């Protein structure tokens, strides 16, 4: 069936019913359409497993991070509703009753993450405060009528789970046309009275005991995009009905709280009783996500420095969106399992060992082809080399031990990384970055101890004051203590020793102080003398070069840290079989996530050789040969014009270029060829129009307007 | 880069100043603040690089280096696999076309590019496509050789385009008026004139050359100032260029129109016929490109199933590619193909075909939003439903609106609707803000095919394509056939009157009273009311428009162009 027609633009294709039954399992697409298996099914299953784990982990994380915020919100809601509950005759209470409690929730610019937050917020509120939680989005509410309709229909849906009767629902759907605040309040009265009715089964939820009349919470997800008028009207109307319809609003704000006052005039905003809540910053969120997903041995999958760099760059420079970051992670996971046949081993260690035993010969060959493995083989004794390259069983055993080494390497790596971060995160200037992700990036990239930043870090560390150093050491101690690895038992022990030594140093110092060997205090002098004496003291110290006990100990600590770093923070490229778990194809990630369509267009038009690898198209940069595709030539010519382009001139210039090219091919200049060239010009022009480079204009006859400017070559 | 190094060395110096704790500490604090500042600067730099439009003209070397840095960081220059573009050094190349410009060469380049046909003709006459850029001096020589070839090929019009381009570049009033006068003569066809003119133009070129030389000197002088200042000057240059292009209300283009041309506008059919005679060039390479893309089909299916949606971009029609994807991969699943380039497409029709044809829903919806809600619920409830949406040109005129995009985005965010779409417009990505992008959950794929946009542009009221009016004509005939003879007569009267007045520019329509009079005389109507009833029918069929004139009189106008009307009358007479 054709998909082009002059009368319609949508074509529906439905396969025969019988054929529809046979659906292709997704794994099959994983296979790149090849018949060679390379464990693709297993790989796909592993991918799905890891991805599910990662996803649930992030969701859980988000919940934990939001817990504090939600607790505060719940408390606020309960407090503000208790006034309604009391029904007191007090004058001030009466006034307060007119005010709608509003929780302004500042969520930050990462709009894409808000959905998840709101979803869990709704859940929390429904569990703790009230069953009546409704959320509205600006796009559903072009006017007041829609707001009320949506509100009513969602509220009634909320009520359904409390076994409210069906006829009410139908009644609402009939009434949907003319929903009003009166309808809502009468609905509310009905519902709350019914609940007192003892016949109904008691509710399990927490709110049921608290109130007879739970509040109605309305969440406006994107407060900024609501039209001012709708918001104003709604607030005024609902404040009038507040005594019978206890509404509480939650504004989701992406920018800053000032927006409330910009959207609402004073007369309206005075009807609100606003309290501000701030959600966790997305940068902290990112740090936790990284911490839980990447800086851990829980997930076998790892990403290389460049991939991490791209993901964080997209996050920091483009959207601040955790959701997108996780999408990037998902894509890299998928790409890894899709493109690397050996990724079948990217799973938990015992499972991977088991899988090695079942590897096919092809897969063994794949292992041998890994660059890291080849490097490893080259460093072995010659008999072992031969055995590795010829004996499958030996290879498998070796691979098992290598994988185990890799696992141990990662365990150690992350512990030492955290420890090093404890040292570097508080240094002035942050030579190795403030966040652990920056440190991680540097460590992944190269031998960190070769970098100048590292040298300066060590220097700074050698100047730390004692109490700072002790605090850091204590932190490191807990890091190592938390690990179950036997290897770091001794390390923890050494740190403990250091701590003890510092402790004893304190005591020794006290004694020393008591003995009175303290240098004489500086007398009160002018600046010049102070400087002079300070210089003298420095000179003295330098010449004496005698370090006190503390300094000796401090140097020891720093050397110890240095030795740890040098031993354990080797870049992953040095590890054999690292390709199994590390995803490094950063360019594919960038291509698919952060594409640059304009650049692609520009390149295609300016430099066709880039795509069409034809030698005839090769040319000096900035000019294109006259045999290039028509659209390229037309584009090139149009770049020479300013705002308006005369079609006649353009077509003649085009014809000149193209005829020159044709001349060489065949020297039959004829009427027909002219016409064909003209037709080609027309096609090129209309294509440029479609691409948005030019548009028709009425300013002058037979002219088109350029929509871009500049851009010569 | 050098700045970065500098920074580091400075940092180190600070540390070596002394080991006195106190002093060092103070110094460190200062240093820290400095570093912070530099760091933010760095951030800003990268940002500007990201945001930089493709058409940035000038960048100094330092910028270039930074640019490459950024590219390196993002891994664009990693040797690419065969999957995309098959280019070994794709990234750096993509960027290098931006950064190539050295400021001294700019003006030179501009003067050379002002005569691209000139450059290209010798290019070919030498049979060497790799010919290098001409220096201004040598370009003179070329221009003469050009003119020789020009006479040979009897292409006298060729030059007329060239000076106009130069003129636009030059903008200098004196030279402008000069070339203007030349220009008006350039239409003459005799060879003598051409030769004469050729000399003139070369003169213009030489003048321009001296000018550009001056400019080069000027920029060279600028160069001596510190780099920052230079950069500032550059951006202001860029700004100037913008205003140069946009501020002057006077349009400096020639006044020639297509009517003077032999081949004026062609109609769609002849255009197609002519183009079918053109043998496509580089077919081998294009085939190779397409094969590369076809290898991605399986991957696309996989990614679609895993919750991503796919968008294709790049030069060339992606319709055939998607069509192949459809025929190879989607034969066994329900799918909807949407031609975004179809002028009558709307979100409503997309939703209609989903609800009516896919979900077999009978009945109507109050609004598009209701329909969307219903569809979304349906898909959410029944997870066994699966639907592939193929949208050609998601960025077309009809679908690019905010609401349409929102609705399609919401559809695509469902986990059992799989969307694969193509975009072509230069600014298409601007349609989507962050919220929409996260709805779409795009994976971008570059598929530059260079295939002509035949189907996509065929609907378009293209600039040079003559509207044949075959569609309005046939609809006219159909409507008229269903009418009474009297009504036909009335309409014919109106047509004739309009055709008689077609050369009258102030004609705004036939006034109702006069028309009534004429119809009465022709025994077509007997009362004012019957005529009005007829006219209402015409109006309902959108055959005529009525307009109130300034004097309050009603005017009737047929909103079909006169060519079609003449055709129509001829046909009618044939039938009669």
Tens of pLDDT, residue by residue over A629-643, are 888 888 988 888 777
Least confident of A324-338, A511-525, B543-557: A511-525
Tell me which residue of A699, A654, A694, A696 sits closest to A677, measured CA to CA: A654
Position A668 scores a pLDDT of 58
Token reading at A114: 């808000």
Q: Which of A455, A631, A700 sits opposite B253 (nearest CB)?
A: A700
Contacts with B124 from chain A: Cβ below 8 Å? 625-627, 660-661, 663-664
- A18, pLDDT greater than 80: no
B339 with A598: Cβ contact below 8 A: no
Q: What residues contact B266, with CB distance under 8 A and at least 6 apart?
A: A678, A679, A682, B274, B464, B465, B466
pLDDT band at residue A56, thresholds of 50, 70 and 90? very high
Kindly identify which residue of chain B lies nearest to residue A594, measuring between CA atoms. B444
Position A319 scores a pLDDT of 85
Q: Percent of chain A having pLDDT more than 70?
A: 84
Whole-number Å distance between alpha carbons of A652 and A678? 9
| Interface size between A and B, measured as CB pairs under 8 A | 484
Please tell me the distance in Å from B55's CA to the nearest CA on chain A.
Answer: 4
Whole-number Å distance between alpha carbons of B435 and A431? 36
Please tell me the distance in Å from B12's CA to the nearest CA on chain A.
Answer: 7
B75 with A704: Cβ contact below 8 A: no
- A79, pLDDT greater than 70: yes
Across A618-639, average pLDDT: 80
Please tell me the distance in Å from A445's CA to the nearest CA on chain B.
Answer: 11
- A331, pLDDT greater than 90: yes
Interface ipTM: 0.85
A611, B448 in Cβ contact below 8 A?
Answer: yes
- Helices A382-390 and A371-378, packing angle to 10 deg: 150
Q: Containing H/E element for A676?
A: helix A671-691
A678, A691 in Cβ contact below 8 A?
Answer: no
Please tell me the distance in Å from A587's CA to the nearest CA on chain B.
Answer: 5
Please tell me the distance in Å from A81's CA to the nearest CA on chain B.
Answer: 33
- List chain B pLDDT tens, one digit each, 576 residues: 444 444 444 444 444 444 455 444 444 444 433 333 344 333 333 333 443 443 433 434 444 444 444 444 443 433 333 334 333 333 333 333 333 333 333 334 333 443 443 333 333 333 333 333 333 333 333 433 333 343 333 333 333 334 444 433 433 333 333 333 333 333 333 333 334 444 444 444 444 444 444 444 343 334 333 444 444 555 667 777 677 666 655 556 677 776 666 665 667 777 777 778 777 778 888 898 899 999 889 889 999 988 899 999 999 899 999 999 999 888 888 899 998 888 888 889 899 999 988 888 888 888 888 899 889 988 998 888 889 999 998 988 888 888 899 999 999 999 889 999 999 998 888 889 888 888 899 999 999 988 888 888 776 565 566 555 566 677 778 888 888 888 888 888 888 888 888 777 778 888 888 899 999 998 888 888 888 888 888 888 777 888 887 788 888 888 777 777 888 888 878 876
Q: In angstroms, what is the C-alpha Rg of chain B?
A: 33
Q: What residues contact B274, with CB distance under 8 A and at least 6 apart?
A: A675, A676, A678, A679, B266
B422, B313 in Cβ contact below 8 A?
Answer: yes
One DSSP character per residue, A236-257 reads HHHHHTTTTS-EEEEEEESS-T
A491, A516 in Cβ contact below 8 A?
Answer: no
- Helices B562-575 and B470-481, packing angle to 10 deg: 50
Please tell me the distance in Å from B216's CA to the nearest CA on chain A.
Answer: 17
C-beta atoms surrounding B378 within 10 Å: 16
C-beta atoms surrounding B499 within 10 Å: 14
Across A566-595, average pLDDT: 89
Kindly identify which residue of chain A lies nearest to residue B449, measuring between CA atoms. A611
Position A447 scores a pLDDT of 86
B124 with A627: Cβ contact below 8 A: yes
C-beta atoms surrounding B142 within 10 Å: 18
Please tell me the distance in Å from B246's CA to the nearest CA on chain A.
Answer: 6
Token reading at A375: 């490097």
Q: Which of B278, B406, B448 sits opposite A600 (nearest CB)?
A: B448
- Sign, CA dihedral B547-B552-B554-B555, equals negative
A629 with B86: Cβ contact below 8 A: no
Contacts with B426 from chain A: Cβ below 8 Å? 597-598, 601, 691-693, 707-708
DSSP structure class, residue A446: S
Please tell me the distance in Å from B437's CA to the nearest CA on chain A.
Answer: 9
Across A433-450, average pLDDT: 88
Contacts with B85 from chain A: Cβ below 8 Å? 610-611
Contacts with B253 from chain A: Cβ below 8 Å? 641, 644-646, 649, 700, 703
A617, A608 in Cβ contact below 8 A?
Answer: yes
B463 with A588: Cβ contact below 8 A: no
Q: Tell me if residue A273 falls in helix, strand or coil.
A: strand
Contacts with B270 from chain A: Cβ below 8 Å? 679
B261 with A651: Cβ contact below 8 A: yes
Contacts with B365 from chain A: Cβ below 8 Å? none
For residues B112 and A469, the model is more confident at A469
DSSP structure class, residue A221: S
Q: Which of B25, B80, B253 sits opposite A646 (nearest CB)?
A: B253
A692 with B425: Cβ contact below 8 A: yes
A309 with B74: Cβ contact below 8 A: yes
DSSP structure class, residue B468: -
Tell me which residue of B90, B88, B142, B93 sits closest to B117, measured CA to CA: B142
- Helices B319-329 and B297-305, packing angle to 10 deg: 70
Interface test with A, best of B115, B376, B426 (most A CBs within 10 A): B426
- A575, pLDDT greater than 60: yes
Phi and psi, residue B335, nearest 5°: -145, 155
- State pLDDT tens for residues A365-416: 889 889 999 999 999 888 888 888 888 888 988 999 999 999 989 988 998 8
A14 with B120: Cβ contact below 8 A: no
Whose structure tokens read 């079909």?
B560
B116 with A309: Cβ contact below 8 A: no
Kindly identify which residue of chain A lies nearest to residue B287, measuring between CA atoms. A612
- A590, pLDDT greater than 70: yes
Whole-number Å distance between alpha carbons of A304 and A586? 8
Q: Percent of chain A having pLDDT more than 90?
A: 13
Interface test with B, best of A22, A457, A534, A603 (most B CBs within 10 A): A603
Phi and psi, residue A133, nearest 5°: -115, 125
Interface test with A, best of B69, B84, B123 (most A CBs within 10 A): B123
> Beta A10-13 vs B335-339: how paired, if at all?
antiparallel
DSSP structure class, residue B131: P
Interface test with A, best of B72, B147, B402, B463 (most A CBs within 10 A): B463
Whole-number Å distance between alpha carbons of A562 and A572? 18
Distance from chain centroid for Cα A222: 20
Across A456-469, average pLDDT: 87
Mean pLDDT of all residues in chain A?
81
B473-481: list long-range contacts, CB under 8 Å, 24+ apart: B473/B564, B473/B567, B473/B568, B473/B571, B476/B543, B476/B560, B476/B564, B476/B568, B477/B568, B477/B571, B479/B541, B479/B543, B480/B572
Q: Which of A460, A614, A644 sits opposite B285 (nearest CB)?
A: A614
Q: What is the pTM of this model?
A: 0.73
């Amino acid at each position: 069936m054709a998909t082009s027609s002059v009368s319609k633009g949508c074509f529906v294709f439905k396969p025969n019913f019988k054929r529809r039954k046979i659906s292709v399992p997704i794994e099959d697409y994983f296979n790149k359409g090849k018949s060679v298996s390379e464990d693709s099914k297993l790989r796909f299953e592993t991918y799905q497993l890891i991805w599910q784990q990662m996803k649930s982990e992030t969701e859980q994380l988000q919940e934990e991070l939001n817990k504090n915020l939600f607790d505060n919100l719940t408390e606020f809601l309960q407090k503000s509703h208790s006034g309604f509950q009391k029904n007191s005759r007090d004058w001030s209470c009466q006034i307060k009753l007119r005010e709608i409690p509003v929780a302004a929730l500042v969520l930050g610019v990462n709009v894409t993450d808000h959905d998840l937050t709101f979803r869990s917020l709704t859940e929390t509120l429904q569990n703790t405060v009230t069953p009546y939680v409704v959320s509205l989005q600006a796009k559903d509410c072009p006017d007041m009528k829609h707001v009320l309709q949506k509100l009513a229909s969602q509220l009634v849906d909320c009520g359904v789970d409390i076994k409210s009767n069906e006829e009410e629902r139908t009644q609402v759907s009939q009434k949907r046309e003319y929903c009003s605040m009166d309808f809502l309040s009468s609905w509310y009265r009905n519902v709350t009275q019914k609940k007192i009715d003892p016949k109904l089964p008691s509710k399990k939820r927490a709110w049921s005991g608290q109130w007879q009349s739970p509040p109605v919470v309305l969440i406006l997800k994107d407060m900024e995009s609501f039209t001012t008028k709708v918001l104003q009207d709604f607030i005024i109307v609902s404040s009038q009905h507040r005594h019978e319809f206890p509404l509480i609003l939650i504004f989701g704000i992406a920018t800053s709280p000032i927006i409330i006052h910009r959207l609402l005039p004073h007369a309206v905003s005075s009807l609100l009783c606003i309290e501000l809540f701030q959600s966790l910053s997305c940068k902290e969120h990112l740090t936790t996500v990284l911490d839980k997903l990447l800086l851990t041995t829980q997930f076998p999958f790892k990403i290389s420095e460049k991939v991490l760099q791209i993901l964080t760059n997209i996050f920091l420079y483009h959207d601040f969106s955790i959701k997108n970051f996780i999408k990037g992670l998902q894509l890299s996971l998928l790409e890894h399992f899709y493109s690397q046949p050996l990724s079948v081993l990217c799973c938990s260690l015992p499972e991977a060992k088991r899988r090695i035993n079942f590897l096919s010969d092809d897969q063994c060959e794949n292992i041998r082809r890994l660059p890291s493995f080849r490097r490893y083989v080259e460093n072995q004794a010659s008999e072992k080399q031969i055995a590795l390259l010829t004996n499958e069983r030996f290879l498998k055993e070796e691979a098992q031990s290598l994988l185990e080494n890799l696992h141990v390497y990662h365990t150690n790596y992350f512990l030492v990384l955290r420890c090093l971060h404890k040292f570097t995160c508080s240094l002035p200037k942050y030579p190795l970055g403030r966040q652990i992700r920056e440190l991680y990036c540097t460590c992944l990239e190269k031998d960190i101890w070769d970098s100048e930043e590292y040298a300066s870090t060590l220097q700074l560390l050698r100047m730390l004051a004692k109490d700072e150093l002790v605090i850091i050491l204590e932190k490191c101690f807990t890091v190592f203590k938390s690990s179950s690895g036997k290897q770091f038992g001794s390390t923890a022990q050494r740190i403990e020793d250091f701590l003890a030594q510092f402790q004893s140093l304190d005591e020794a110092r006290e004694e020393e102080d008591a003995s009175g060997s303290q240098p004489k205090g500086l007398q009160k002098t002018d600046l010049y003398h102070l400087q002079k004496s300070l210089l003298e003291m420095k000179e003295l110290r330098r010449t004496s070069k005698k370090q006190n006990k503390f300094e000796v100990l401090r140097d020891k600590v720093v050397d110890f840290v240095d030795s740890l770093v040098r031993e354990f923070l080797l870049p992953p490229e040095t590890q054999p079989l690292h390709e199994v778990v590390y995803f490094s194809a950063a360019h594919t990630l960038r291509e698919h996530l952060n594409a640059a369509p304009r650049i692609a267009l520009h390149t295609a038009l300016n430099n066709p050789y880039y795509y069409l690898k034809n030698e005839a198209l090769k040319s000096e940069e900035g000019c294109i040969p006259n045999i290039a595709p028509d659209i390229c030539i037309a584009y090139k010519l149009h770049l020479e014009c300013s705002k308006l382009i005369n079609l006649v001139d353009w077509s003649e210039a085009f014809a000149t270029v193209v005829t020159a090219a044709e001349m060489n091919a065949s020297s039959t200049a004829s009427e027909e060829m002219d016409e064909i060239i003209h037709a080609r010009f027309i096609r090129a022009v209309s294509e440029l129009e479609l691409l948005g480079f030019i548009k028709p204009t009425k300013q002058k006859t037979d002219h088109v307007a350029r929509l871009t400017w500049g851009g010569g070559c | 880069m050098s700045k970065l190094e500098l920074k580091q060395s400075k940092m180190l110096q600070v540390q070596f100043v002394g080991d006195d704790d106190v002093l060092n500490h103070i110094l460190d604090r200062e240093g820290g603040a400095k570093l912070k500042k530099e760091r933010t600067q760095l951030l800003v730099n990268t940002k500007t690089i990201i945001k930089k439009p493709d058409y940035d003209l000038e960048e100094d070397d330092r910028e270039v280096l930074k640019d490459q840095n950024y590219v390196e960081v993002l891994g664009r220059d990693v040797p690419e696999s065969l999957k995309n573009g098959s280019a070994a050094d794709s990234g750096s190349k993509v960027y290098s076309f931006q950064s190539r410009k050295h400021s001294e060469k700019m003006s030179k380049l501009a003067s050379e590019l002002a005569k691209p046909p000139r450059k290209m003709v010798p290019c070919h006459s030498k049979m060497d496509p790799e010919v290098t850029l001409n220096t201004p001096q040598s370009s003179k020589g070329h221009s003469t050789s050009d003119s020789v070839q020009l006479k040979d090929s009897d292409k006298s019009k060729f030059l007329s385009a060239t000076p106009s381009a130069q003129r636009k570049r030059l903008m200098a009033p004196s030279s402008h008026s000069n070339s203007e006068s030349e220009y008006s003569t350039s239409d003459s066809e005799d060879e003598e004139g051409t030769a004469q003119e050729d000399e003139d133009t070369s003169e213009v070129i030489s003048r321009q050359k001296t000018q550009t030389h001056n400019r080069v000197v000027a920029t060279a002088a600028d160069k001596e100032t510190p780099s920052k200042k230079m950069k500032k000057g550059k951006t202001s240059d860029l700004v100037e260029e913008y205003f140069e292009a946009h501020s002057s209300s006077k349009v400096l283009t020639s006044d020639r129109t297509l009517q003077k041309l032999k081949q004026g506008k062609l109609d769609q059919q002849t255009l197609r016929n002519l183009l079918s005679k053109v043998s496509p060039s580089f077919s081998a390479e294009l085939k190779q490109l397409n094969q590369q893309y076809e290898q991605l089909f399986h991957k696309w299916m996989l990614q679609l199933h895993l919750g991503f949606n796919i968008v294709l971009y790049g030069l060339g029609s992606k319709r055939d590619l998607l069509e192949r994807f459809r025929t190879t991969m989607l034969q066994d699943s329900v799918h909807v193909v949407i031609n975004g380039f179809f002028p009558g497409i709307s979100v409503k029709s997309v939703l209609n075909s989903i609800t009516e044809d896919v979900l077999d829903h009978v009945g109507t919806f109050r609004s598009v939003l209701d329909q969307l809600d219903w569809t979304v619920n349906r898909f959410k409830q029944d997870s066994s439903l699966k639907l592939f949406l193929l949208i050609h040109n998601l960025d077309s005129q009809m679908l690019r609106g905010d609401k349409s995009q929102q609705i399609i985005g919401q559809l695509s965010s469902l986990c059992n609707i799989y969307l694969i779409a193509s975009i072509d417009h230069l600014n298409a990505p601007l349609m989507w803000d962050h919220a929409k992008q996260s709805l779409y959950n795009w994976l971008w794929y570059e598929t530059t095919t260079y295939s002509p946009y035949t189907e996509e542009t065929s609907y378009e009221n293209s600039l040079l394509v003559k509207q044949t009016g075959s569609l309005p004509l046939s609809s006219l005939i159909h409507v008229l056939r269903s009418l009474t003879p009297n009504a036909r007569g009335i309409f014919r009267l109106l047509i004739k009157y309009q055709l008689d007045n077609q050369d009258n520019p102030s004609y705004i329509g036939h006034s109702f009273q006069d028309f009534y009079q004429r119809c009465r005389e022709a025994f077509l109507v007997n009362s004012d009311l019957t005529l009005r009833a007829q006219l209402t029918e015409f109006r309902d069929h959108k055959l005529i428009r009525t307009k109130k004139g300034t004097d309050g009189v009603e005017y009737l106008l047929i909103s079909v162009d006169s060519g079609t009307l003449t055709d129509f009358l001829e046909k009618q007479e044939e039938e009669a």
